[in-house]
Amino acid sequence: MRALIQRVTQASVEVDGALVGQTGPGLMILICAMEGDEDAKARQMAAKIAKLRIFQDDAGKMNLSLRDTGGSALVVSQFTLAADTRSGNRPGFSTAAPPGEGERLYHLFTEALRNEGIACETGRFGASMQVALVNDGPVTIWLDV
């Protein structure tokens, strides 16, 4: 699995002008299931993100996790994280999981994150979404598991 996480003060996602998910202070998580990913990868990614120490403590050091801060997450499926841009000018996405498997793993990841004690909302798999966020820091981290 592949994720792009951003520490945010707020984030939201709309579909057809309607709000479908939002978070206050916490994380915006763009997630992509890759071809060959299995359930264990989704659970491993959720555990890693829940414990990742990227929030500031009282001394101003990135020493706290999302669990520690009580923050929440907005999880949005983004198959374009699988983009292969090594040749030509048009990205290829053949390394992304097939849509049915990608959706299943997306939901499994979200449930695993909730099982880690993280409140989360989601976008809508496969929909054209408008995402808004305020990146805090800015802190943006790429993760592969």
Instruction: Please pick, among 80, 93, 130, 140, the residue that the annotation labels catalytic.
Output: 80
Instruction: Please pick, among 23, 55, 79, 110, the residue that the annotation labels catalytic.
Output: 79
Q: Rounded to the nearest 5 degrees, what angle is found at the Cα of 77, between the Cα atoms of 105 and 24?
A: 115
HEC string for 67-105: HHHCCEEEEEECHHHHCECCCCCCCECCCECCHHHHHHH
Instruction: Please pick, among 6, 78, 110, 122, the residue that the annotation labels catalytic.
Output: 78
Quick one: 117 exposed, middle or buried, by C-beta within 10 A (0-12, 13-18, 19+)? exposed
**Active-site residue 78, yes or no?**
yes
Q: Rounded to the nearest 5 degrees, what angle is found at the Cα of 50, between the Cα atoms of 131 and 107?
A: 55
**Active-site residue 80, yes or no?**
yes
Residues with a catalytic annotation lie at 78-80
